[in-house]
Every structure is written in C-alpha cells, then in structure tokens.
Chain A
C-alpha cells in the first residue's frame, strides 16, 4: 500500500514533467530520449594534481591532512595498540567502538580493555544506537587521497556510517599502501572494489567537523567528530 502511494505520486507527474523538458529542448515527446552521440572528454591533465606513481604521496598526504586539521601519527602494525593509546592520552575517552574491516585487529581490543576502556564493536546488538553515546571510535579506511589529504570510506554490512560520524574522537587506521595519489585514482576504485555497484554511502572525509557560519569564525566539532586522529600504518 505504501509502495503504491509513492509509485503513484511519481507516475502522476513524471510524464508531464518529461514532456516539458523535451519540449524545452525541442526533442520529440515520443519514445525514450535519444542518447547523446558524444560526451565531453575529461583530459587528465586538467584534473590530476598528484602523479599516480608519485613516491612522495604518503608524505604529501600527511602534510595535507595535517593542514586539514587532522592529527597524524605513523606506526608499524605491531605497535598499533601503543599508537592508539597515544591518540587517547588525555582525551578523557572512556568508551570506544571498534569498526575495522580491512586492517587486522590483532590484540587491540583486548589491550584496550586491559587498560580500562569500555570497548564495543560495530555489529554488536544495538550498535547503531550505542555508537551515539560512545566517546571514540577506531575505524580503518579504504583510501587516503594525497591530492587533498582526505580519507575515503564507505558503508557495507561490516562498516557503519555512524562510526566515522557521531563520536567526538575518530581514530583512523590508514595503511600507507592505501594512499593513492589523486581523487581521480580513488573514485574508479570505489566502483571496482565494490564490484560495480556503488556502495550505499561513500564519504570523503577531509578533517574534523567544522563551521564558520558565525562571522566566519572557525569552530570545530559541530555534529561530526571534533578530533580526527590518523595512524598511518607503514607495513
């Protein structure tokens, strides 16, 4: 019944709407709209800011990310717990939610629990609600973009939207091998990695949540994380 109602609204105006558009374009109102013969070419030279094989792309990513207001650390995989602990020091964080889909968790969860943190896991019962009350998250991320210093994540059955959004402190684990040169390298991979179908929610994160709405004064931490700390994993 609900389906019917929405379907009918759409059907109600669709034909007239499309007829107006076609009329405006001087196209026939019969049949499907003709497919354009050509589309504008997108020369890479106009877009590419960092060459794909740039050996300095990791350091460039770090420099840009820091400019964007993220705190960046480098660590070896084996020292991950220590690096996460460094992020948490003096933060007042008590509860942490883990959401790792690629980077192996290792002993991180047990280590954090042993140090007195209340640790939960994305995928636990009611996690979508409890993440709202959680102080920090530790997530991984699909790609780092060296052109802007941004992070790219997407949702799937193992990875949430809220774990990168509703916590005041977001700790991100980014394998250095996941840093690609440019957005134009990353976006085609999103489609490829996800098997052709674009994930339901892809987000490019370019730093902590912020606003400059009040007389252009910069305020960080409005609705999203106030702090984004990234651990670049070098091996």
Chain B
C-alpha cells in the first residue's frame, strides 16, 4: 500500500497505532463501579434494553422455528468463515462485475487511508456517514478531519455523539446512555435554540439540519450488515432512512466492512434478515433494508456514480486462525447486550472499547490482547443469557471460560490466586481433606455468626461479599452427618 498510494499514507494520521481497537476508557473496574451505582444511567439504560430483550423474544416467537433458524444462521456463518478465502475472492469478483471497486485493508490505518485517498481523488469535502461500527473501530472521523475532510454522522444517535464528542455505548442504540434532557442541552448549545427535551422536537432539529447537509455532500460512507459473495451486493439495515440518503444522494458511495460480514449467496439473505431486526430491536424487519449492487446503472436518474467497498482485516485473520473463530459469526445485532444483566448495570462505556457487552468482552481482548483487558472475560457471572439471545448461536460463556483459561495459562492471573486454587483443588481431591476443610470452614464461620445465624462481616477478600449482603452461617450439622444419623435410625427401625 505504501509504495502504491503515497498520498493516502501521508494523509493518514500519524499517531502510533498499536491497538487494533481504540480504547476510550481503559479502567474497567473504576468505570463499572461508577456505572453500577448510577441511578440516572440505569433509568436511561437498564429498563430500555430489558424491554428490547423482551421485544426480541416476542419477535422471534413469530418464526416457525426460531431456534432452528438461529442454528442455521450460525452454520452458514461458520461455513463462510471456514471458506472465507473463497468467498472473499467471489465477493471481490462480483462487486467488480457490478461496476464497483474493492479494496483490502490490512488494518484500521490503511482503511482510513483508502477512504481519504478516494475522497481526495474525487474532490470530496463533505462526507455524510451512516452508522458503521467498523468506522468507529478505525476512528475514521478523526482521520478524515486530520485530512481536512468534514465527516458528518447522520444517524440521529451518532449525530448526537459527534456533536458531544462522545462514543457509542451500544451496537445498535449508540446513545442509549444519555437522557433526553442531556441531549436537549447538547442541542441547545449546538443549534443555539431554546432548551427542549421533547424527543420529537430534538429529532426534528437534527432532521432539518442534516437534510440540508445531505444535499451538499460529495461522499456517503456506510457500514455493511451483510455482503453477498454470489452477487457482489451489500445489505444495509436501517430505520431512519439516513443510510439510504448516504448511499443514494452523494456522487460517491464508500462502504466499509469487516471481512467476516460476508455471506455466501442471495438465497442466504432471508435467513439473516428474518433474524437481525428481530434480535436487534424486536422488529420483523428494519424500516429499510437496502441491497446495493454496484453504482447507479446507465439511464438511472439518481444513485452514486462510484461504489467502493473496503474490506478490512485489522486483526480478524488472527482471530480466524484460533479457537475464537466463532466470534466472527457476530452480526452486531446487540441482542447479547440487551440480554446481559451486567451490561444492563454497567453500560457500554465500562467495556472501554467500541464493542461493548458480552461479545465485546471477547472481541476487545481478541483485538487488543488479553493483558490490557483481563477484567473483561472475568467480569461475567456466566449466566448464559447472551448465548440464549445470540441469533447465530455464539457460545459466549464457553468462550469466556476459554479466555479465562488463557489468562491462567499465560500467567496473567496473579500468583496468589493461582495458589488459592491449587490449595482448594488439592483439598477437594481427597475425601479426608475435603471433610477437614468443610469442618474448619464450619467452625470458623460459626464463630463469626450473629445470634440470628448470619454473618455480617467476613475478613479479607471474602469481605467483598459482606460489603453487599450477609453471609449464611453453616448449619450446625452438615449434610453428611445428618444423612449418617438418618440412615442409622432407619436401619434401627424395626
């Protein structure tokens, strides 16, 4: 790339890029601590995503066999990943056949450089963007600004975040962490209008402003929900219509995708369309499903003159090679976030990077390394709600456990904890030591108990338990002694 398009390289921002994913909030514990106690956040977030989760269940129940369809979707995704080289070549060939251009970006910097290169070549100064998580991953907006090109987010939520210099905290509801009043104040300042917290009025302000800008834009950038290898089509699922605007009105359309977004064939599309919106928001379909195949054709009165598809690796090929390949099935519906009791309490910001929630707890360490994100695989109760919600059946809890194994095997888990587990396992490996251990626990804990049978303060790390709730004192006689007594009396009975 460097020798073939120097202009792009020069334009890319020069900060060192060691990380594949940008990290906005590196301290999980501190963020989670604050968020878990933030009633305002819960009011905005917890109830909303819980409602979405129930909406998902209801919408999936409309299908003849939702579980079977999820299984199939997972199978198709896995099949595509297992043959990704074939399908990427096919996709490239068919996008070109439809008159589009295809670019392969090895990392986020290269993806940004390609966009800037296209913008420069086409004289594009204003770029309107439809929501794209991959562009969050590459921090495309910053790169465009550094290159003197104005990026404008047009999804209402993303627009609010851009104005407020904030980051999305949910895969499909980017601004879920903000209350209407906060958005009202942001717009009050930005548009210099009287304060309002009426969602209709706020949306209208953004609409009027963005409508004008759509008309001035040279380039539209979109993400990709699915790329169909067989036809060279990309599929975009949106509700507001900004995605259609971005891909219909400007002269140039650039679509950016992670390489795992590929699906094999046209006839695979219903499998995913019937699952995506249902899983994401409880809708049967999003308001608009755009299937875009190349630029406008001869004789067509509107549509872009050029269509460019950027396919990005940025660490995905590394994930593809390892035991976490299944994470690349993800279709970014956000269902695992909505279902996750922990996401509901700590919000997306705590997860630090652009991919929050259970799938983010896997992706962020996979992209950026385990060392810097060791809490993410640990901070889960492994309840399995994410697996149950996932439309492509990624077994997230099992993969989190695998990652914990990696933490142990790579030595990131501290020495003292290893020692505790060693002793614990050894104790349990023998009947006599188990019984001795249980007896010691019983005696010690019973010393600490209050007259009502509960312990209100435990020493050391177990004290974290009693910070939150009381701890039950063990029964006077454990099960095995009670059982022995019971058996004895039973045999003595006539």
Residues of A within 8 A of B (CB): 2, 5-14, 16-18, 20-25, 27, 32-36, 39-40, 42-43, 45-49, 64, 68, 122-123, 127-128, 131-132, 147-150, 155-157, 160-162, 165-166, 183-184, 187-188, 191, 197-217, 219, 221-225
Contacts and interface: CB of A to CB of B under 8 A. Distances in A.
Contact of B51 (A156, A187, A216): A216
A224 B300 contact: no
B68 A46 contact: yes
Contacts of B180: 214-215, 217
A16 B107 CA distance: 12
Contacts of B179: 215
A200 B210 CA distance: 25
Given A213-B160, A217-B180, 16 more contacts: A5-B117, A6-B121, A8-B4, A9-B4, A9-B114, A17-B317, A21-B259, A46-B72, A49-B64, A149-B284, A156-B297, A188-B266, A199-B293, A200-B98, A205-B288, A214-B183
B13 to A, nearest CB: 18
B65 A46 contact: yes
Interface string B170-183: 00011110111001
Interface stretch (B139-147, B237-245, B410-418): B237-245
11 contacts: A6-B308, A20-B106, A21-B320, A33-B88, A42-B267, A47-B271, A47-B274, A148-B284, A200-B303, A204-B285, A223-B241
Contacts of B247: 201
A17 B104 contact: yes
Interface size grouping (class) on chain B: 35 or more
Contact of A39 (B92, B157, B265): B265
B335 interface: no
A166 B274 CA distance: 27
Contact of A11 (B4, B82, B117): B4
Interface string B15-47: 000000000000000000000000000001000
B291 A202 contact: yes
Interface string B56-80: 0000001111001100100110010
B257 interface: no
Given A40-B72, A157-B298, A223 B154 contact: yes
Contacts of B218: none
A187 B321 contact: no
Contacts of A131: 302
B199 interface: yes
A13 B103 CA distance: 8
Contacts of A210: 239-240, 287
A200 B160 contact: no
B426 interface: no
Interface in B183-206: 183, 199-200, 202-203, 206
B294 interface: yes
B115 to A, nearest CB: 10
B318 interface: yes
B344 interface: no
Best-surrounded residue of B110, B114, B211, B241 (most CB of chain A within 10 A):
B241
B317 A23 contact: yes
A20 B69 contact: no
Contact of B44 (A132, A208, A215): A215
A161 B313 CA distance: 32
Contacts of A25: 82-85, 320-321
B82 A5 contact: no
Contacts of B265: 39
A33 B293 CA distance: 23
Contacts of B466: none
Contacts of B244: 161, 165, 203, 223-224
A40 B79 contact: yes
Contacts of B273: 183, 204
B160 A161 contact: no
Given A5-B121, A16-B106, A215-B180, A39 B264 contact: yes
B301 interface: yes
- A-B pairs, top 7 by smallest CB distance, nearest first, are A224-B241, A157-B299, A17-B104, A24-B321, A33-B85, A213-B157, A223-B241
A39 B75 CA distance: 10
B290 A203 contact: yes
A92 to B, nearest CB: 16
B374 interface: no
Nearest to A32: B89
B365 to A, nearest CB: 18
Contacts of A165: 241, 244-245, 248
Contacts of B122: 2
Contacts of A149: 284
